[in-house]
Structure 1
């Protein structure tokens, strides 16, 4: 199974910044200890690929560093050439994972899940929307008739993804998220499940089971992009849900079982994770990868 990494493309952040950039290198160090996983440096998404999902004027502003102060605050990162390169690589990793999954069943981006980026606006630590870019790239560069489902299980709604793809019947957007959490203005996904604060394992897994059933009956995808956010975990400082580590494992297992049962290729991105202890976030991400590896061996 291939895992595409970007952590050596540094996004320079000021001291005390709340984004846990270090989690990506820690995760790669753990993944390197696993047999049957090949670590691959992520390619950069091209301008053409980015423009499958983003407005040309927005891309130019990102490349040339011409974002307004308000636009930069909305993203949450200071602009730099390294930020642009890192963002290209993060999107390119999901594109590469999606293409590889079509060949091998499962592939992973050890970052990604930048689902708050809109067509013409970055937001919430997201510059380019890697899921929308990857889904459209598969259709433009592999098979125009491919039906793609995006299963977003980050604790925050995939608002940018929903907005970009809202009028696209060939891509299904599913988001299960905390109803009272960021973003406070929700967009309209093809299927949205908003969960209450304090949601436990049982409630979450029942919602997931119902959502996958609806996805299957309403859409019949050819492949999946899965945002495996670590932030529904009870130890997350921004999540507000109460899933146990075992509940998180069962969540991943259910998604992978759905993909395997339907013989659907699945590309996985890590999405959010803001544990009170960084080790707990890295541990949840690593658990997702180990669970994926188990299922990949059955493809």
Structure 2
């Protein structure tokens, strides 16, 4: 048995203005940490995969073609780019296409092997005809639609544990009964307007590790039993951490591990394949995020008994 990981160097190859809030270096730092701590390339039970950019025509089946043409052609109004939060560049577009392709590839790996982890992904604030909150293309919704094209996958559940509600995912997939959107988030945090997911677990600011895990543990098995998904796409955002600069929760590092282990073990025991993405996490010192994101890999290795 092996754990399959997806990564591309382009994830951190984006020049941003000084003091920009987005932790662009964390993807490279996470990869380098895993290479050093786990000997990624030589580890007998770890497999690394490099994605290809997703096809633009496929993105236009999810997002409004005019939005995608304007985004990729650099003709969006300045106000729409400000809402996204990135300055436009050709590298930004290349990165977006590749990361979206990475989440799709993670779905394929989960389908084939039972579990795949993408060392990027989770751009859940992208809506049908606009981007928002550092999200241009909604890779979670795109990957869920892709999963439904695979033989035997008739229902997908997106379990989004980023501290910010998956508003774009909720609106994009509101009319698709084959995809269940399940968001666990802070009630008073971005976005200000939170459209209904199929399942919303909104927790108050300063929620502790015990409160978070008790609430999540109380609803996760019921959600899986009720909807019986054929695949889960899991957004393992670490911005629930007590020191996150945009999070407002009081969850410790061990709590992140326990949350990830809870999702992966429940699905593993039920025979449900999981495609996981690392999701959000915000620190001025990007290196401080690495150990938090690594908890997803450690929990996966423990569920698969690889360490």
User: What TM-score, normalized by structure 2, do the two folds share?
Assistant: 0.93
Cα distance between partner residues in 2 of 1:182 and 1:293: 32
> Do 2:167 and 2:195's aligned partners in 1 also have CA atoms closer than 8 Å?
yes
Q: CA deviation at 1:62?
A: 1.5
The residue aligned with 2:25 is 22
Q: Are residues 144 and 136 of structure 1, via their aligned partners in 2, closer, same or farther at CA, if it must alter by over 3 Å?
A: farther
SS at match of 1:32: helix
The residue aligned with 2:34 is 31
Q: Deviations over 1:79-117 (max 9, x none)?
A: 111111100111111100011101111111101000000
Cα distance between partner residues in 1 of 2:274 and 2:265: 11
206-215 vs 127-136, which moves further:
206-215
> Do 1:52 and 1:136's aligned partners in 2 also have CA atoms closer than 8 Å?
no
Q: Deviations over 1:183-232 (max 9, x none)?
A: 01001100001111100111111121122123123311001000000100
> Do 2:162 and 2:236's aligned partners in 1 also have CA atoms closer than 8 Å?
yes
> Do 2:206 and 2:249's aligned partners in 1 also have CA atoms closer than 8 Å?
yes
Q: Are residues 296 and 146 of structure 1, via their aligned partners in 2, closer, same or farther at CA, if it must alter by over 3 Å?
A: farther
Q: 1:192 aligns with which of 181, 192, 200?
A: 200
Note the residue ranges of structure 2 that are not aligned, 5 or more in a row.
none
Note the residue ranges of structure 1 that are not aligned, 5 or more in a row.
none
What is the 5 A alignment of 1:1-299? 1-9=3-11, 10-33=13-36, 34=38, 35=43, 36-140=45-149, 142-143=150-151, 145-275=153-283, 277-297=285-305
Cα distance between partner residues in 1 of 2:22 and 2:115: 28
Cα distance between partner residues in 1 of 2:48 and 2:232: 21
- The alignment's C-alpha RMSD in Å is 1.5
Cα distance between partner residues in 1 of 2:109 and 2:162: 23
Q: CA deviation at 1:145?
A: 5.0
Cα distance between partner residues in 2 of 1:85 and 1:114: 15
Q: Are residues 78 and 144 of structure 1, via their aligned partners in 2, closer, same or farther at CA, if it must alter by over 3 Å?
A: farther
SS at match of 2:279: coil
> Do 1:175 and 1:193's aligned partners in 2 also have CA atoms closer than 8 Å?
yes
35-44 vs 192-201, which moves further:
35-44
Aligned length: 297
Cα distance between partner residues in 1 of 2:58 and 2:5: 20
> Do 2:21 and 2:284's aligned partners in 1 also have CA atoms closer than 8 Å?
no
Cα distance between partner residues in 2 of 1:194 and 1:215: 15
Cα distance between partner residues in 1 of 2:127 and 2:152: 23
